[in-house]
Structure formats: structure tokens, C-alpha cells
Amino acid sequence: MSSNVTSVNDSDLIDRCMTILKHDGVLAVPTDTIYGLAALVSSEKAVRRIYEIKGRLFTKPLAISVGNVEDLFTWSKPTLSSEQLSDGDLLPGPVTLMFERQLSLPSYFNPDVNNVAIRIPNHQMMIELARRLGEPIALTSANISNGPSSISIDEFQSLWSQVDLVIDGGVLASNDRRGSTIVDLCEKGFFHIQRPGIDCERIISLIMSLSKLESLANETILEIFDYLRPIDIIRAFELLNERFQILIIQRSYHVNLSMNLSLNDFNEYCSIILPSYCSSIRSIYLSNSETCGCMSLFFQRFPHVEAVFPNLRTMVFIDPNDNDYNQIIKIKQLTTVHLKYSQIYEQKIHLAALFDNPNLQTCILSYDDLLPIQKFRSSASLKRLVLDNFYINDFHLLFYLYPSLEHLAINRLLVNFQGYLPPFNGPVRTLHTLKLNCAYTVQFDYILYLLSLLPNLVHFTCIAIGIDFFNAEQWIQILSSLEQLRSLVFDLKAVTEMFDNKLAASFLTPYWHRWRIAVDYSEDNRKYHLFTIPYHRLSFISTIYSVSTIQAPPHMFDSVTHLYLKMNSSMQMCSNRKYPNVYALQIYQNTIVTVDYSNLFSRLCTMIDAHKLVHLELFISLPPSIFLALLKSTPCLRYFKTDYEILMILTDNLQNDDICSDLHHKLNKLVIRQGVLPLTDKDRFVQIFSNLKYLQIQLYTVYELRLLLWTCLKIMFQLQTLHVRLVGTDASIDSLQWQGVINNISYEIAKRHIQIWK
């Protein structure tokens, strides 16, 4: 340990710090958020040292830290009163407040900046130090400029020699690298979140409660509206006064008529809200999956969509039936259409008619089946196209049909049985963005050939499987020919017979430094995983344990919100990677090796912040004790997906009261992917999950459905959507048999499934 490192608990610490600071010194200090560099604002030399230590531009201002609320009025011009600022829930705390600066601050400190950012960290040492000094402390994060923030002193060890004293406060309790939430309060009645940080939502609520709603600026009110559903905005503010009425009318609305919406809410939208604010509607989302029959009800209410909603430009349709689709293709004003089908071949639709819309610029088609090129029709206006499954062999026809195409994404690229690529008429010069998720049958040579025909490509994403994709030299050759390329995202996987470090080393040449490559290796399934960093994609797939043969910086996965983990055997030298912002987690089984689950919970706690987890999909047979520990650490969990057999193991056949109680109080959505609910478990199952709003399960027969439906309607008062798949039927096609509304409940009855929405 370095000689200039001391414990935060040293008895003479404050005296030592004061002496160092008063002699132009710089400290590395713990706070309530992250570690910081501190110096006296009154020492121009020390302030300059902070900039030099961090390699920070001198034009970027520093914050100041004080010890009392009264100090804010000495160094700034607060727009909140002393009583409001003294609210113990705001200051001290993980918040930085920006106000207009006072002349009492020296002119060399943040020159040419009219405001100042002030903190009172909720940290006893920092508060006592500031109070005894009686003057402001310049404070900024302890890291190289633009690098990751630090929550332990080891993470900025390279800076120790450049500061006069490092104060070790251990691993900070915040365990969050975002730092404080910065709030701009320079203008009275207005606030703006300059940087979301720790406790951002709570701080927004506090500041809103400190201000009278009607005294807030229009910009602030509109920012608040961004967090609310249109139905909530109109219910709460429509009749408040004329000013709010004008703000509501002038706002553009993106209306989701399916997510967490009851049939009564839907009827209120269609009868009152949508007609009253029809000119403000910009996009509408409709789903027969979440809310069965809602499209038919919508088109019954609004048979002439274009006449009612003149500014509507975007619509999303999830699982429309044949009649719904015939209404969709009549809407010619849309510039963006997202169409999603579970079973597109079981619908009698003429997909090509969708492209007859002369205004269509963006088309997103999501489906389980494969769409042949014959399903498409030419369009001169189409610029963005997203497809789920498509043959690479038909690419030449795709560019022929859509000559203005600028953005193309294929979520599953396949090769047909012919196995060759027909020649193109020439280079495709319009395409700027290409995203490909290749099936294992797609060869690297196909991708090289395709890229050779796209000279103006700017953004390229490639997700692929196969050892041939790990050819660094060939990648360099083709990528170097793309002179406009500015963004490259790789996510490549390959299985090898044995560990070969040359594979990773071939991506360590100077050319690859530009794109920053990371490589993981999983020992038990001998799989390499190569990807570019920073990792800009929202989802990431990995094994629980892996070795980083080329290390990725820890903060590079801050963008990941959806994490897919495959179980594998523990490894001694595995990487300690963190995904701090994950809210959706899927864990699935490893079919190659038998895995010990005993360390899984502790491993997960090092990888993610379980408090942020909302969505969990679990397809492994965890012991109930580990599952209970996981549930206890996830207070925000609302969605759970699993198999029925696994649910029985997790809950001790629905008899573990602690687990069942936790599931009862937390979940509002449950999806059983596989396995049939036996009638013997029906009553206990419904009792445990009586708080659900959405339930998807499987049964054998209609008789079982009748028994379950009666129990559900009797006990599950909050249930809005019930989706039952009938696995006992021998029907070859899941065709729609009947749809309608009875007793304010919408029903959809098909050969292989039944849905209700109430």
C-alpha cells in the first residue's frame, strides 16, 4: 500500500486534510456516490492540478462541495428557499444543484461560466471537513477524464502518486458509478435533469414536491408528461386550468392501447380521449396478443382512420387477424408500419398490399416463419426495412424492389437449399446501414461478397456463428474498402477443438485498435465470443463464467439492459464483468455439462444490480433456497417466465410458503412457456397468482379451460388478459373461430388457443 494512503477512520484525518488543502494540496476522497478529487476553490494552483491530474479540458467546469445549506446562498443564488433546501431528503444527498454563481467565487474558477454546481455529500467526513474549512471545496470524480468512475481506491491507483493524500473509505455503499444526479435550477419555476444519476427518480419527485405545480415552467411540465400515459395526463390535468388545457392540446401523443390497459380504459380512450385530441395523435400501438380483439374494436370505432387522425404517421400492429389486416392496408397516410405475426402462414393475408402505400418509408415485419421474396412488392418510397427471417440468396431482388433503401436489418439471415448468391446488377449505393444476424448456415464468404457491393456503407452490424468469421485478415481487407464506414458492431461466436490464443491475438493489430475488440472464452463448451466495445447493443449473450482473452473495460456494458446467460461450470480465472443497468434477465440450461448451482446467486450479485431487475426468465432447475434468495434481492420484479416443471421445482410443488408469498405480492405478469397446468394444482395455482394482470398457460382440453376460467374470474380480480394454449387439440392450423365482447369481456376463440381481455 502506498505511503500516501490513509483510512477514513484515522483520528487526525480532518486536521491532516485541512493542512494539505491549505498548502495547495489535492485529496482523493470518498463521498456518498463515487470517489472524488478535492482541492480548495481559493487555491488556483490546486484547482489547476486537478485538471492536470485528470487530463481534463480547462473549459469543463468543476463542482463545489460545502457543509451547510446556508453556504449555498454565499456562493450561489438559489431559486429555492432555505427551508426547501434544508429538507433532509434532498440535502445532504446524492444530488448536485446548479444555480447562478455569486461574485464571491474567484474569477479563475470556472471562468466564463455563469452558474455553479453545488453538492453537500451525505458523507460525514466530507461534511465535517467543509464545515471546519468554512470555504468551498472544488470536487470532481477521481478518474482520468471520460473514464469510468471509481467506487474503491484500487480503481484509480494510477492517480495515487499525483495526489497528496488518498483517503480509503472502502468500497462505497452506493455501488453505483453514475455519480450524483445533476439538476439545473438556475431559472425559478424550472428544473432540468442535466445528468441522471443515483436516486434520479426520487430526486425528481422531491423537487416537484418543493414547487407548486402551476409555478413550473412549461418545459418542466412537458418533461413530467413524458413519464405519464396519455390517459393519465388527461385525467389529471385536463380540467385544472386553461394553461394546462393548451399544453395538453399542443402535445404530440404516442398512444399504446394495449400495455397494462383494461377493456374499460380502452373504451375510455376510444370514446373520449382519442376523439378529443385526434389532431395530437402521432402514433398508435395495437396488440391482439396483450389485449385480444382490440384491433377489431378500434376499427369499429374508427373505420376511417385517416379522416379522424390527420397527423397519425406511425402504427404498430401485433397479431392482427385477416379482417384487421384488410383495414390496415387502407391507411395510406402512415410513414412507419410495424407488423408482427406469431404465425404468418396461418393468416390469409396478402402481404404485398402493405407496400402499395405511397408514403411508406419504414416497414418492420416480425414473424416466426420465413417470408419468400414473392410475398413482397416494389416501393419507391421505402427507406428502412426490418425483417425477421430472410434468405441471403434473395438480397439482389430486395434491392431491386426497393431502390431507395438506406437501412436494412435482418434479424435471422438464412441460406436456401441452392447455396449460392446470384449476381447483383451492380453496387448498391443507397444503403448506409446494414444489420445482419446470421444463422449458422451462412458462410463468411457470403458476407464478404455482400459487403463488396455496398461501397457507401456507414454502419455495419454482424452477428454470426462459425470459425470462418474469425479471419482477421479478410475482415481487414473488406472493411478497409468501405471508405464511409464509421460504426462497426461485431458479435461473433465459434466453437474450437482446443484453446487457441492466436485467434484472439489476430485481432490485436493496430487496425483493430480503432474498433476495440474484446474476446471471451468458455472452457466447458470451448466457445469463443468476439465483440466490439463499447458494447452499444441493448442485449448481450454470454455464459455465467468466461475468461476474457482480450479484456473489455468494465464500464463498457452500461448500455446492456437485456442479459441472456447460459449456465456453465465455474472457472478459477473468470472475468468479473458487471452489467449495471440490466432490468431483463434470462438464464437457460447448458445441455453439454452438468452444472452446480450453489454459487449462482453470489455470481449474479457480482454481475448485475438485482434491485433493478423487472423481467426474469428462468429455464434452469434452481434449488428453492437459491430461488428464494434471488426473489428477496429483486424488489422490482414484475414479470416472470418459466416452464411449469421448473416452477414446481422452484416452489417445492407450490408448497414453499415464503416463495409463493413473494411471487404473489410481486408479479403482475406470468408466462408458462412449456408444460401443462394439471387440474389438481388449479386452485392452489390461482390462489398464489391471484394478483396477476396477465397470465399465459397451457391446458389440454376445453373442459379444463372451463374449470380454470370460472376459478380465475372468481378469484383473480385484477386479471386483464388470460391467454390459454390448448395442446390437446389435433387441429393443424390455429385458425380464428369466433371473436366478440360479452358482459364487457372480449373473447378470442381459435382452434389451438383462447384469450380473454377484461
pLDDT tens, residue by residue, 727-737: 877 766 666 66
Q: What is the pLDDT of residues 402-433, one digit of tens each?
A: 999 999 999 999 988 766 778 888 899 999 99
> Region 723-750: what's the mean pLDDT?
73
**% of the chain residues with pLDDT over 70:** 89
- Flag whether pLDDT at 528 surpasses 70: yes
Q: In terms of pLDDT, which residue wins out, 31 or 217?
A: 31
Q: pLDDT tens digit string along 337-394?
A: 999 887 654 456 788 889 999 999 999 998 877 777 888 899 999 999 999 889 998 8
Better pLDDT: 390 or 87: 390
What would you report as the CA-atom Rg of the chain, rounded to the nearest whole angstrom?
Answer: 30
Mean pLDDT of the chain: 85
Among 296-310, 443-457, 572-586, where is mean pLDDT lowest? 572-586
pLDDT surpassing 70 at residue 575: no
Of 646, 654, 726, whose CA–CA distance to 687 is shortest?
654
Instruction: Report pLDDT for 537.
Output: 64
Cα dihedral: 610, 613, 617, 623 (round 10): 30
pLDDT by residue (tens digit) across 544-559?
A: 666 565 555 656 777 7
Higher per-residue confidence, 364 vs 175: 364
pLDDT score recorded for residue 534: 59
Residue 173 has pLDDT above 60, yes or no: yes
Q: Is 80 exceeded by the pLDDT of residue 503?
A: no
User: What does the pLDDT read at residue 345?
Assistant: 45
Residue 741 and residue 756: Cα distance in Å, rounded?
9
* Helix, strand or coil, per DSSP, at residue 519: strand
Q: What is the amino acid identity at position 436? A: L
Maximum Cα interatomic distance, the chain, rounded to a whole number of Å: 86
Closest CA to 62 of 53, 76, 50, 78: 50
**pLDDT confidence of residue 735:** 67
pLDDT at 203 over 90: no
Contact (CB, 8 A) for 590 and 526: no
User: Tell me, what's the pLDDT at 526?
Assistant: 76
Tell me what the mean pLDDT of segment 568-575 comes to: 59
pLDDT at 1 over 60: no
Between 184-198, 225-239, 366-380, 677-691, the lowest mean confidence (pLDDT) is in: 225-239
Share of the chain above pLDDT 90, in %: 42
Q: Quote the CA–CA distance of 252 and 247 in Å, as a whole number.
A: 10
Q: Which cell numbers in the block locate residue 186?
A: 438556475
C-alpha cell belonging to residue 689 = 397468482
Q: How does residue 519 score in pLDDT terms, banded at 50, 70 and 90?
A: confident
Angle at 706 (CA atoms; ends 705, 711), nearest 5 degrees? 95
Which of 76-90, 609-623, 624-638 is the least confident region? 76-90
The amino acid that residue 96 corresponds to is T
DSSP structural state of residue 579: B
Among the residue ranges 22-26, 55-59, 252-256, 744-748, the one predicted with the least confidence is: 744-748
Dist CA 147 CA 739 (whole Å): 57
**How is residue 671 written as a grid cell?**
408466462
pTM score above 0.75? no
pLDDT single digits (tens) 145-155 = 877 889 899 88
3-state DSSP call for residue 638?
coil
Residue type, 496: T
- The mean pLDDT of 81-108, rounded to a whole number, is 88
